[in-house]
Each structure stands twice: as C-alpha cells, then as structure tokens.
Amino acid sequence: MKKYILYTLLILVSSSCTKEFTELSPISERNIQSAYKTEADFAVAINGLYDALQLNGTYGKTYLLLNEMRSDNTSNGGGCNGIAQSLCDVELFKEVTTANELSSAWSDSYKGIARCNIILDKIDASVVPDALKKRYKGEALYIRSLLYFNLAVIFGNVPLQLTDVASPADVNLKQYPATEIYKQIITDLIAAEPLLPAKYTGADIGRATSGAVNALLGKVYLTNGEKTSAVTALNKVVDSKNYSLATDYAKLWGAANENGPESIFEVQFKTGGQGEGSGYFEYFASILGRAGGVGGGNTPMTITPDLLAAYKIGDLRYAKSIYANNKTPDTTYSLKYISTQTTTFDGDNNWYVSRYADVLLMLAEALGESTQAYVYINQVRARAGLAAIAATTPSTFAKQLLDERRIEFAFENHRWQDLLRFGVAKSTMAKQLAVTEAEIRLLFAIPQKEIDVSNGKLVQNPGL
C-alpha cells in the first residue's frame, strides 16, 4: 500500500466531466464499465480510491489550506500578491466563489466519491471472491465517508451521490445540509465495520480497518452532537487493544515511523520521482527554500505567534514539532514533515488522518468532564511531559481539552474542525484576525462553476 498503482487513472478517470455532469460524474466514457469484472480489475480500482486521497484537492494539499490554514495555527506565508492572493483570501475569510481552492476540493472529492460508487455498484456482479468483495465494499464505504465528511465540514450543503452515474439523469444535485450528510456517513460506516479486518500484514498495511471506521464514526457522531454514540464507537477502538500511544512524540514522524502503533489511518506516500511523493515538507517548512515560494508552486504555511505562545513550559512536543529561534515567526517551521528528497514535492511523509491520541481526546470530549475523561487526557499529557490535570485545575474542561488538542495535533488538520465543533470558531478567529465575528464564515462558498452548470439546482451558501 505504500505505493499506489499509477495506471489506476487510466481506468477510473479516462476523461473529465462534461458540463451537464458537473464534478459529480468525472467519468464520461462509459465503455470503461466493461473493465469491472475480474479480481484484477477491482484490485486496481480499489487502489484508485486510495489514490484519490492523495489528490491536490484532498489530502494532497487543499484540505490543509481549508482547515489548518483557516485556523489560528498557521497563516499564508507567501504574501498577498499575484498567485498568492487566493491563499491570502482563504486565510482572511475573504475567498471568492471562483477560488481555485474551492473548485479543487469539490472536484477531487467527488472524483474519489465517484470511484467509490462504481465499486459499490459493480462488485456484486463480479467474479471477485466473496471474502474480498466484503473487504472492498468496506474500503469503498470508508473512503467515501471520509470524503463526504470533509465536504460537509468545508461546504455544509452538498449533493449526496451514492450510485454510479451513467447519464445526466442519474446525477442527484439536491443539496443536503451537513447534518443529513453525517447521517448517511454514519449509516455507511456502520455497514463498513463488519466488512473490514482489524489489522493487515505485509503489503496490505495502510488499508482501511475496522478501527479506522470506528475512529471516523466517533468523530462524525461528535460533530453531529451525538456524544453517547461517539463513546460507543470510540470505545471499540480502545477495547480492540490494537493501538497505543507512541512512547516518544518524535517517533510519530518520518518515514521510519509510519504505520506505527499509534497509527489508525494514514494517507500513504512514497518518494522516488514517480509522482507518489507528498509536498508536506514544502508546505510546512518552506523556510528551507525547497520549492521557490508560491511562484514555484508552493503553498507555504507559517506558524502563528499565537500557536507558539500556546505551548506550555516543559511541553516536550514543542522541540519535536517546531524549529524556532527565540520563538520568532520568521525563523520557525514545523519539524513534523521534514524529509530527504531528491526533488520538490516528493516527500516520503504520510499524512495522519487518524491516530490513537485523537481517539483518546475525542473520548474525553464525548464523556464530558469526569474522572475517566481526565484519565484519557492525562495519558496524552504524560507523554508530553506535562503534569496531570483534574476538575480542580483552573479553567474550564472544554478549554483545557481544546488547548490540549491544539498542541497535540498542530499542523495535522484538526484545528479548524475542532473550533467548529466546540462552537468557538467565530470568537477565536475574530480575535486572531482583529475583525468582527460577523466577518468569520463557518462555511466555504460552493464553487461558482458548479452552480453555473447546475441549471439552477445548486444554490450558494447563505451570506456568500
């Protein structure tokens, strides 16, 4: 799984969509459907699902811009002129409806969803062995759920396409609010759990597991306000005994530590000049001059002074996450994604979608202030070299938990989602940017080009 099969795209994305299909149907040459018959066909197709998570519009780049850079953790380091203007606008909540970042996230997410739908629609009629059919269905349901979760967080009101699209009549352009998207995700993840193994060996390490399903399910339940159900899903991850915290925070990072004991699901990348490497080195350590700035295709994110100040004295995560000279922003960068690479944007760094520390802190969130919740929080704090906290510790439980999540998952794409889920996105970002709360948007705009080709079926999010 460390290297996805490159020729997947020849089967799955033989051409881009027509105007009538919009990005809900990225495949317009339907004769390729005859390819979905054999076990080999579906092995290639399944790898195409994982490949979709590498795309620039998903975890390859844009999800990072619309989550981490949107938050108070990082800011656009490329200035606000020329090609960088769009990135600056994202950071400042001023992006226009035609921004490339919006269309990229929309189109690449739906490309991945379309690939999942093809497999789910075609596999029952194939000659794939039954045991493998089950696993492939589970993988497709998980990845589709992951993509829809990101779409719901980013755009809120999105179409819900659950079947393969063979003609314009099959496209469902009805928009559903995020709460309805979450309900469908929950249904899909519940169906996926028994279809997937708890772990893999050999070349299959890195594929979606039942643990990955329950970790995402817990997060979706929390996001949808269903804390009791979140406890049930997250406890399954803990009770499985398949995961544990890495003994040293530094051992979470670098190619040698990928898919380790704390890893629940990672997007896999591999260096080597084959187009399978990641660009996180450039995105989070652009000060090292690897990619020539924004004009060279980079999207550098610099660390905010506010995040640097949030680290407590004695927190071991600081020295293992950040290089700084007297904590000044112009000399700081993240250490998490440093890699050895022969060319730019070709790192060996995977991307954590989910790791065990997240499950522990989400469990604390779902339980609410309680003895057991502090047990979970303090497990994470102990690794960081910090003293335990309790109900008697000054500050509120919610603030302590949110602060803990901020430091533990800095530069990992959690912060904006956390601010939304805790209900403090507007107040936090208004203070950060010295603007009014009315200027802080909780949703991004639906890409204008999608509205234009929908014949009036797609409408813009309110206030945009």
Q: pLDDT class for 169, splitting at 50, 70, 90?
A: confident
**Residue 35 — φ and ψ, nearest 5°?**
-75, -20
Contact between residue 158 and residue 110 where contact means Cβ atoms under 8 Å apart = no
SS3 track for 338-362:
CCCCCCCCCECCCEEEEEHHHHHHH
Tokens of 137: 């269905």
Report CA-CA distances (Å) from 201 to 206, 207, 417: 9, 10, 32
SS3 track for 285-345:
CHHHCCCCCHHHCCCCEEECHHHHHHCCCCCCHHHHHEECCCCCHHHCEECCCCCCCCCCC
**CA-based radius of gyration for the chain:** 21
CA–centroid distance for 76 within its chain:
19
Report CA-CA distances (Å) from 200 to 192, 205, 261: 16, 5, 13
pLDDT, residue 167, reads 72
pTM > 0.85: yes
Q: pLDDT class for 291, splitting at 50, 70, 90?
A: low
Report CA-CA distances (Å) from 323 to 317, 326, 329: 11, 10, 10
pLDDT, residue 188, reads 98
pLDDT, residue 247, reads 96
DSSP 98-155: T-HHHHHHHHHHHHHHHHHHHHHHHGGGS---HHHHHHHHHHHHHHHHHHHHHHHHHH
List pLDDT tens digits, range 319-349: 999 987 665 556 788 999 988 887 888 999 9
Domains of the chain: 10-196 (1.25.40.390), 279-349 (no CATH)
How far, in Å, CA of 327 to CA of 317, rounded?
A: 14
List pLDDT tens digits, range 366-416: 999 999 999 999 999 999 999 999 999 999 999 999 999 999 999 999 999
pLDDT, residue 326, reads 62
